[in-house]
Structure 1
Amino acid sequence: MNGRYWPIGLSFMFALSGVCLADYPDQHGTIRIVGGIDESGCNSGPLSNAAFTLSDCPTVVRDTSIDIVSIDNPTAGITPEYAAAHVSLVSDSGSNSRYYNRQYEVLDRKGKLIRSGAYIITLTSP
């Protein structure tokens, strides 16, 4: 081997020796995430004329799922196609701002407004 290649070979040896010695620790740990909700939920308005409102909702809950179950007959709404009632969106303030407002109606299977009865309305946000 020529003498001028000796420093280059030695440099490669030292450079690669650090890579060969790299190792992961044998310790196992736990990742812990702690946090809280920064946004408050929606404000709900009273049910009047078979309609209710959700106001000042943050845009992060825009894809809210709404379920409704009759308290008088809780088994009537087991599957969506046989549900005694469903919720229909009537108006939406749009998605141009940080908060939005929506108004919903409670309808029966035939699409008519329900004006009497006892129902539990559940909002599920992502």
Structure 2
Amino acid sequence: MTLTKIIAVALVASASAFVPAHNARMPTKLNFEYGEYDEKLFDNNAKKDLYNKWDPNSPRSTRNFNPFETYKGNSCDASGIYPGEPRYKDPIRGDVSFAIMMAEKAEAEERAANPKAGDVPGCPGCKN
């Protein structure tokens, strides 16, 4: 009988070693805020809206990013997150046609020729 009690106590003690302790050092659920256009149409008009609100001199976040910036050849989602990064969500994209693409290309060339003040590589609001 004593050996049975010793074995039972040893089993309980070893099992409790795998139960996580609930104390102040354990991380709590992180709050994460997706972008303004998450789960909404993320077309060129939405990107232009975000670009107009973007401040290159403020830290990059899900609410402050250049939606036209590419990283490693990829475009970001509606929260400024790139494929392969945690929390990336494939955005709801708008219609595409050759005419739309040509109009967007002209707008992109205009943006590149006239960047926002502070829009330089390595600025706080840029990925690159």
TM-score range, shorter chain: under 0.3
- TM-score, normalized by length of structure 2? 0.21
Higher fraction of helix? 2
Please say which structure displays the higher CA radius of gyration.
1
- TM-score, normalized by length of structure 1? 0.22
